[in-house]
Structure 1
Amino acid sequence: MIKNTLTGKQKRFLRSMGMTMDPVVMIGKEGVSPTVVQSAAEAIKKRELVKVRVLQNCMDDPESAITMLAERTNSDLVQIIGHNGLLFKRNFDSPKIELPK
């Protein structure tokens, strides 16, 4: 299971940021392949907060696919709504997002 280190206030803040974002990572018919994991990890390192979309042709359940991607990238799962999910991982070298306490 995913260990979530975010408080409710921090999740609410990240969800509000994610509302205006477009999906950066798409999970297609191959599912959560190593290529998808690698591109997601690069996007998370660069942006910290990433919106993920599970396409209709994916054989996996959207919730399980997004959860699996969060586990493989060692990121926090902020939210899953329908076919979309938000992943967050703090970049300690160059933080982009200032979380509320």
Structure 2
Amino acid sequence: MLKLNTSQRRSLLARAHHINPVVIIGKEGLSIGVINELDRGLSSHELIKIKVLSGDRKARASLLEEICQRLNAFPINHIGKILIIYRPEADAKEETTESTHRGITRK
């Protein structure tokens, strides 16, 4: 996974300030549907906010890490119950191309 420098992260954080959460993760946690919705959000917008209803900070931090690993995204910020993640559009296109070459189609 590519690393973002401080100025890139700060710029993305400023862009995310006015964005509303795209997905709300409830007590059920990550499901296939939630992952698919996050993937669609990242494909459409590159930068998204996620609201997590869990009260445990450590659980939210591990959830952020898992989401980023599964979706090849970058964690931008974690403030309270809001997570901000970023995936450049080029990464999404490469992932789709690789999946298509393996005979897997993304919906």
- Range class of TM-score, shorter chain: 0.7 to 0.9
Once the two structures are superposed, what CA deviation does each residue of 1:13-56 show, in whole Å capped at 9, x if it has no partner? 00011111111011112101111111000100000001011014
Secondary structure of the residue that 2:15 maps to in structure 1? helix
Name structure 1 gaps, 5 residues minimum: 94-101
What is the match of residue 7 of structure 2? 9
What is the match of residue 73 of structure 1? 71
Aligned residues: 90
Once the two structures are superposed, what CA deviation does each residue of 1:36-80 show, in whole Å capped at 9, x if it has no partner? 11100010000000101101479x821111221111111011111
* Structure with greater proportional helix content: 2
2:83 counterpart (79, 82, 85): 85
Amino acid at match of 1:27: I
Q: Which has the higher contact order (CA 8 A, sep 6+)?
A: 1
Bigger radius of gyration among the two: 2
Mapped partners of 2:45, 2:55: distance in 1: 27
What is the match of residue 44 of structure 1? 42
Mapped partners of 1:29, 1:64: distance in 2: 14
Name structure 2 gaps, 5 residues minimum: 94-107
Is the CA contact (8 Å cut-off) linking 2:25 and 2:53 kept in structure 1? Answer: yes
Mapped partners of 1:6, 1:22: distance in 2: 23
Q: What's the TM-score, normalizing by structure 1?
A: 0.80
Identity of aligned residues (%): 27
What is the match of residue 63 of structure 1? 61
Is the CA contact (8 Å cut-off) linking 1:79 and 1:87 kept in structure 2? Answer: yes
Is the CA contact (8 Å cut-off) linking 2:13 and 2:77 kept in structure 1? Answer: yes
